[in-house]
Structure 1
Amino acid sequence: MTTANPTASYSADAATYRPGKIRNRVLWTLQILLGLFFIIASGGPKLVIPNSLTENAPENLTIPFALLIFIGIVEVAGGIALMVPRLSALAAAGLSVLTVLAAGTQAFIADKPAMAIFPLTLAAIFAWIAYERRATLTDLRATLSR
């Protein structure tokens, strides 16, 4: 017995699943808000004022300065790609991995396990976005293989 899901559309292949209208709006709202968060509040300060980050947050001193800049670049690129339709699933998957690593850094290197809750929540949200946007991965693969 199968039940119809009115908020999703399927084709013959399960890999081409597309979310329904309401779910699509929720996803785009999350993608835009989180993309702007990563561009403006998370990655941007690491690139614009990296010296003040190391002065104000002692846990940032435990990682090399070049790695801090690299993380800022990855966060800004992920935030931008999260708002590009063809790259949204790939960006969400990458940001999910990045936030899990950030949670590990908070828990084990900075010795503040309570601070790992926020990055883990973000990782779950990004994993959900990547799952819902999985059809863009097959579209991207098809585009690149031409």
Structure 2
Amino acid sequence: MTAIQTPAAPAASARRTLRRVLWAFQILIGLFLVVASALPKFAGETNAVTTFELIGWGQWFRYVTGAVELAGGIGLLVPRLAGAAATGLIGLMAGAALTQVLVLEPAWALLPVAFAAVFALVAWDRREQTRDLVRSLIR
């Protein structure tokens, strides 16, 4: 027997595929943010300390940035929080890109810009869940 496909079937299939691809990126970037970005900042890894000395805002800012990365990375892995986390991480990546261009190494600004593009897609895909989350917090 063959299944009858409605016009909505290809769109639903494409949406499922997009969601799977986004989940793969969310998991990879979430793990990167937690393991390779936030933890070295908390541990006082030499490159992290040096980078924040170059930025000139003090080491307290390293801890704040690490905390935001840790929270965002974990949030990307929790379905109900993924859209909100992605939205917040767009701001973090904008700051990271500007810092790279203005203070550190301009060529490295492409990485946070690429992450921000993925976060924008996640935020868009999860917008209904984010609205529901905000509504539940307001009540």
TM-score, with length taken from structure 1:
0.80
Q: Residue 125 of structure 1 aligns with which residue?
A: 118
For the aligned residues, what is the CA RMSD?
Answer: 2.1
Q: CA deviation at 1:24?
A: 1.5
Q: Residue 94 of structure 1 aligns with which residue?
A: 88
Gaps of 5+ in 1: 10-18
CA distance in 1, matches of 2:25, 2:11: 17
1:68 aligns with 2:92: no
Q: CA deviation at 1:86?
A: 0.9
Question: Which runs of structure 1 show a deviation greater than 6 angstroms over 4 or more consecutive aligned residues?
Answer: none
Gaps of 5+ in 2: 1-6
Amino acid in the other structure paired with 1:75:
E
| Percent identity of paired positions between Structure 1 and Structure 2 | 41
CA distance in 1, matches of 2:102, 2:29: 25
CA distance in 1, matches of 2:125, 2:132: 14
Between Structure 1 and Structure 2, which shows a larger proportion of helix residues? 2
CA distance in 2, matches of 1:51, 1:38: 15
Q: Residue 12 of structure 1 aligns with which residue?
A: none
Determine if contact 1:31/1:82 at 8 Å carries over to the other structure. Answer: yes
| 1:77-136 per-position Cα deviation (integer Å, ceiling 9, x unaligned) | 1000111111101100111110110010111022x2111111111111111111111111
Determine if contact 1:35/1:79 at 8 Å carries over to the other structure. Answer: yes
TM-score, with length taken from structure 2:
0.84
CA distance in 2, matches of 1:107, 1:20: 35
Determine if contact 2:97/2:110 at 8 Å carries over to the other structure. Answer: yes
